[in-house]
Amino acid sequence: MGSLWDDLESLVDAPSSFSAKSGERGTIKPKANFNAEQDAAALKKALEGLGTNEKIVIEILTTRSSAQRQLICKAYEKATSRTLVKDLKGDTSGNFEDLLVALVTPPAEYDCHEVMRAMKGAGTKDKVLIEIFASRSNQQIKDLSDIYFKETKKQLTAALESEVSGDYSKALLLLALGKRDESTTVDVNKAREDAKTLYNAGEKKWGTDESKFIEILCKKSIPHLRQTVIEYKNISGKTLQQSIEGEMSGDLENLLVAVVKCVKSVPGYFAELLHESMKGAGTDESTLNRIMVSRSEIDLLDIRAEFKKLYKHSLLSAIQVMEVLRA
């Protein structure tokens, strides 16, 4: 079990002086003087023979970018005629195995496989679907949908439609199309109009017109919705999140609340999910792994800062506490 926590600590523990430029808010960046063949040879040695040298495996896989890890996979297969994924699965187990496999899987493929796992077997894991479709960009959703089609020869939206129902299904399918408006300009008057529409569809009337909430929150641009959230508070006196929580229930409520949280701050949303995954008696390692891996090159530095702001202790110390508790 210790190896899983070592891996997670390596992902989160990066210098916070790292550049704040767009796309550079992750804790992992490309390694300088990278040599895929050398890394592949070191991994081969670490995985062969009796017992796995976990320290070497962790050191390599948590200090290379995703693109570099793909080059290592190719070099490894060329050198051994086996895939790195297969050897990692053969030499490790449990959540540590899941984390290592996640690290050597391209991001869109990893998202796709998480969605597939969420839809597999009895009962859909809606929590996972909500997390992914509320937080990913149009391009990320398109990429995972393309991989889903390539692997299953089915459209992702058709597969989702057979798994979910009602207003929740309508909202999730809109997000899964990956066609949210991407304009960056904000018209304050239009944002105020949408805020009024939401107020009239919920707080102001008896019963809730969910379709208005779905239409606005799942289609309009993020900058527009950010302004709409401000205008809604001015009109209603309540936050939009409070209104959704008061007017709706179940998976639709959870999905729309997740969308509103992501509109306000994606790093803040993930900081909350990480806190929840480590709260209480058991740890939700699959959520912990998914967030740490999927955000490690996007915004894990910001998630780290939000976590500290919200919970008054660092994400690293929270992981270290979990390691001690689970030892």
Q: Tens digit of pLDDT for each residue in 186-240? A: 999 999 999 999 999 988 777 789 999 999 999 999 999 999 999 999 999 999 9
Distance CA(298)–CA(306), nearest Å, equals 14
The backbone torsions φ and ψ at residue 316, rounded to the nearest 5 degrees and listed phi first, read: -60, -45
pLDDT at site 21? 45
Q: Contacts from 146-152 at CB under 8 Å and sequence distance 24+?
A: 146/108, 147/108, 147/109, 147/112, 148/112, 148/115, 148/116, 151/112, 151/116, 152/116
Of 240, 222, 307, 217, residue with least CA distance to 267: 307
> Would the pLDDT of 327 be above 80?
no
Q: Let me know if 127 is exposed, middle or buried by CB neighbors in 10 A (0-12, 13-18, 19+).
A: middle
Q: Tens digit of pLDDT for each residue in 99-115? A: 999 999 999 999 999 99
Residue pair 108/150 in contact (Cβ under 8 Å)? The answer is: no
Q: What average pLDDT does the chain have?
A: 91
Q: Residues of the chain with pLDDT > 90: what percent?
A: 78
Distance CA(274)–CA(136), nearest Å, equals 17
Q: Report if pTM > 0.85.
A: yes
> Would the pLDDT of 68 be above 70?
yes
> Would the pLDDT of 15 be above 90?
no
Q: Contacts from 213-216 at CB under 8 Å and sequence distance 24+?
A: 213/244, 213/248, 213/256, 214/167, 214/170, 214/171, 214/174, 214/256
Q: Tens digit of pLDDT for each residue in 233-267? A: 999 999 999 999 999 999 999 999 999 999 999 99
pLDDT at site 123? 64
